[in-house]
Amino acid sequence: MMKKLMTLLVAVMMVFTMTNRVHAETGDPETATVTVVLPSEMDGENTTNETYTAYLILNATETAELYNQSPIAEGDEGITYYTTAAKAAVLGTYFTFADGNVGGSAVKVLTAHSLTSGGDQEQAQALLAIAKANSFTSTSLTANTAGTEFSATLPLGFYVIESSLGSYVVALTTDMKVAQKNVYPSFTKEFTNTNDKYVAIGDTVEYTIKVTVPETVNKVITITDTLDAGLTYNNDASGASATVNGQVITFTIPASAAGSDVTITYSAHVEETVTYTGAYKNTAHLKYSNYQTKDVELTSKTNKIELLKYDGADTNKKPLPGAVFELRLNGTALTLVGSGASYRLADAEETGVTQFTTVDSGNIVIDGLDSDVSYQFVEISAPEGYNALTADAVPASAPATTNDTVVEVANNTGTVLPSTGGIGTTIFHVAGALLVLGAGIVLISKKRANNN
């Protein structure tokens, strides 16, 4: 029965990767080394700050007389578990002892227990509380350089191991490696809308954070989320309480969320900044006790379009000044901020212009645009001496890959012949033909009259 119990207790939080009893390298038959191995997924930057402390609940020996007790774990046949009379008195809720003798000293030896498999995690915590309240012997496990393993060589015994992650386990020391299960919280952060990877100034970016909270969590979890200067939090978080300090949002998940999945959503407004670069970064990390994850970073990007206006007869395509354009989205002229050859999309509260004029100093550059939408350049008026465009709008997009696309638009001089249904000079040709026809009719009429 004891064997079954301890196996269940260990299974709550740990998985034994080696359970055969092998004594420590010192050769001492009464000691063994226990090593807690953190999982590879536990990639936090501060794992060396974790703490593991082993509290000795029951001593164990191979050399004493057996007292008709069941083994605690596989391979423990021949082990006697015992303790002092004082400790036996406070452990009476869970263990039954009888008088015995180990090494010539009178002790209390374990003969039975009243622990149940249904509440092993709760009982493990209760044993830990007893150990702390009564100053049971404790030993800190030492981390390796990488912070991926914690170990200690201890007297044989039955231990409760406390982790700073909030996990409590019962283990028997027998030179074993114990794999720490995922008892720490984990999280993911994503764009709520996948197309928010590319945005325009004035857009709203929505984020979703998902936190997995293990049943063993007994402390507050925090998510620290830092926004770039060009992102403004919209104070619309749901799923967890949020406090704001400048560009830093701290989400708090209480210990009462243990055993659940928590989803946090919130949004931020995309703004122009003095140091506008077109990239809006957002980083977040989770902290629980001494454990902190690495930062998860999401970046939203804006992009740009260039407009080259040139003389259609110029093979060098030198920029042609004087053409007036609008940049439109779904037929609506967009408001721009800037002058000369440089513009960007205006935010909602900004005052700007909807029309701009080409210059001879270079291409017109418009920044702050979304790569996921299609824009149109519409020429309002051509440069003096040039014909207007025959097309109503020139399509344009800001590519996500190159962050730079040049839309070339040519203007020509001279007479525009109708080639796409435009009226052009047709009306004059028709009028001339009618005049000639009319003159012919008059001449014929006069000739007939003279003949009469």
Q: What is the pLDDT along the chain (452 residues), one digit of tens a residue?
A: 333 333 334 433 443 333 334 444 444 568 888 888 877 655 555 555 678 899 999 998 876 665 555 544 555 567 788 999 999 999 998 888 999 888 888 999 888 877 664 446 677 788 999 999 999 999 999 988 877 889 999 998 888 888 766 556 555 656 788 777 656 788 999 999 988 999 999 999 999 999 999 887 888 999 999 999 889 999 999 999 999 999 999 999 999 998 899 999 999 999 876 556 678 999 999 998 878 888 999 999 988 899 999 999 999 999 999 999 999 999 999 999 999 999 999 998 889 999 999 999 999 999 999 988 899 999 999 999 999 888 778 888 877 665 568 899 998 886 554 444 444 445 555 555 566 566 656 555 655 555 55
pLDDT of residue 26: 44
The sign of the CA dihedral 103, 106, 108, 110 is: positive
CA within 13 Å, CB half, 372: 12
With contact defined as beta carbons under 8 Å apart, do 302 and 370 qualify? yes
Same domain, 25 and 122: yes
Tracing tokens 């954070």 back to the chain, one arrives at: 209
H-helix or E-strand spanning residue 428: helix 426-451
Nearest Cα to 411, choosing from 340, 324, 343? Answer: 324
End position of a domain, from candidates 146, 180, 214? 180
pLDDT of residue 343: 94
Mapping DSSP onto H, E and C, the string for 128-182 reads: HHHHHHCCCCEEECEECCCCCEEEEEEECEEEEEEECCCCEEEEECCCEEEEECC
Type of residue at 407? V
- Report the C-alpha gap between 394 and 84 in whole angstroms: 90
Does 376 fall in a domain?
yes
pTM (two decimals) = 0.67
Token duo for residue 418: 């109708």
Same domain, 17 and 117: yes
Find the DSSP H helices in 31-104. Answer: 85-90
Same domain, 222 and 252: yes
Does 416 fall in a domain?
no
- Report the C-alpha gap between 227 and 234 in whole angstroms: 12
Type of residue at 186? S
Same domain, 26 and 76: yes
Tracing tokens 């999982």 back to the chain, one arrives at: 39
Same domain, 295 and 307: no
With contact defined as beta carbons under 8 Å apart, do 218 and 166 qualify? yes
The residues, any chain, with a CB within 8 Å of residue 96's CB and separated by 6 or more, are 110, 111, 112, 113, 114
Q: Which residues span the domain enclosing 444?
A: 422-452
Same domain, 150 and 24: yes
Token duo for residue 192: 């709520």
Token duo for residue 316: 């060098």
pLDDT of residue 291: 80
The residues, any chain, with a CB within 8 Å of residue 326's CB and separated by 6 or more, are 333, 334, 354, 355, 356, 377, 378, 380
- Report the C-alpha gap between 343 and 409 in whole angstroms: 18
Same domain, 264 and 405: no
End position of a domain, from candidates 128, 157, 180? 180
- Report the C-alpha gap between 193 and 401 in whole angstroms: 20
C-alpha radius of gyration, the chain, whole number: 40
The sign of the CA dihedral 107, 110, 111, 115 is: positive
DSSP symbol at 446: H
Please tell me the total count of domains within the chain. Answer: 4
H-helix or E-strand spanning residue 325: strand 324-329
Same domain, 258 and 145: no
Same domain, 332 and 352: yes
- Report the C-alpha gap between 263 and 212 in whole angstroms: 9
Same domain, 160 and 97: yes
Same domain, 344 and 435: no
Same domain, 55 and 200: no
H-helix or E-strand spanning residue 242: strand 241-245
End position of a domain, from candidates 180, 205, 236? 180
- Report the C-alpha gap between 263 and 252 in whole angstroms: 12
- Report the C-alpha gap between 101 and 89 in whole angstroms: 17
With contact defined as beta carbons under 8 Å apart, do 216 and 258 qualify? yes
What beta strand segments (E) does 84-148 contain? 95-102, 105-113, 138-140, 142-143
